[in-house]
Amino acid sequence: MNRLYIKAGVFIFFLTQNFSTGVFAEDDVELFSNGIVADNVRGLIKPVEKAVISSEISARIKRIPNKPGDAFKKGDALVEFDCSFYRADLASAEAEYKSRKNVYENNKQLLALNAISDIDVSISQADMEVARADRTMRAIRVNQCKINAPYNGRVIEVSVNEHETVPADKELLSILNDSLLEIELIVPSNWLNWLKAGEAFSFQIDETGKTLDAKVSKIGAVVDPVSQTIKLNGRFDDTLDGVLSGMSGTAMFSQSADR
């Protein structure tokens, strides 16, 4: 006899069948002929935007303003490095660029007086452009001394401590946008007969007991041929006060009950 278990948005099928004779129980045949039927499915709340912030330079961490659970605004500093070395390096590159630029400008004046050759002017121009590119590269490094928040959100986890010296590409902290959450569901593939983007459903959250209105925002591109299910995402219509990423619940579709 078939058993259908629905847990955390995943359908697991246990099939008891006689492969040698090809005989199924009566309710097994009915299940396969009618397709999978379930009015309510489990879902998981996930953030639409989530990121792991890594260092782009090797430097000592000067300040990490936010701790796990803290909220921040777009543009707020998430991590600040001690960049005395990089700023001094930029000042040196700036001085070198100005020197090369002065030589180039002087050579252009000498060329107008026929006191220098064209090749000398071209070489000084190339030297100036190399110095300018070097200055730009070092300025980029200085800009990487402070990591700002890309959106409003909250800190999930901090992986390092202030005053530590970290290498480039070191994971520092993970963040999410807690104002933009979605529901991930896995539903029977035969629901595609009526299920469309924009379909309304209600979602009861286990942790709070609240039931919120939502709509299907995206339907998966492929059907799982083994479980005959498809993934879809939903967006809340209601405000998200008290709703956190990682919460789970039950999605209820009125259409599935009518079929």
Summarised one tens digit per residue, pLDDT across range 143-186 is: 999 999 999 999 999 999 999 999 999 999 999 999 899 999 99
Residue, of 76 and 10, whose pLDDT is higher? 76
Same CATH fold, 51-176 and 35-48+180-258? Answer: no
Cα(172)–Cα(185) distance, rounded to whole angstroms? Answer: 31
Does domain 35-48+180-258 match CATH 2.40.30.170? yes
What is the CATH number assigned to the segment(s) 51-176? 2.40.50.100
Where exactly are the structural domains of the chain?
Answer: 35-48+180-258, 51-176
Phi-psi region of 226 (alpha: psi -120 to 50; beta: other; left: phi over 0): alpha
Per-residue confidence band for 2, with pLDDT thresholds at 50, 70 and 90: very low
Phi-psi region of 179 (alpha: psi -120 to 50; beta: other; left: phi over 0): alpha
The pTM of the full predicted model, rounded to 2 decimals, is: 0.72
Is residue 144 packed enough to be buried (19+ CB in 10 Å), middle (13-18) or exposed (0-12)?
A: middle
**Cβ atoms 40, 11 nearer than 8 A:** no
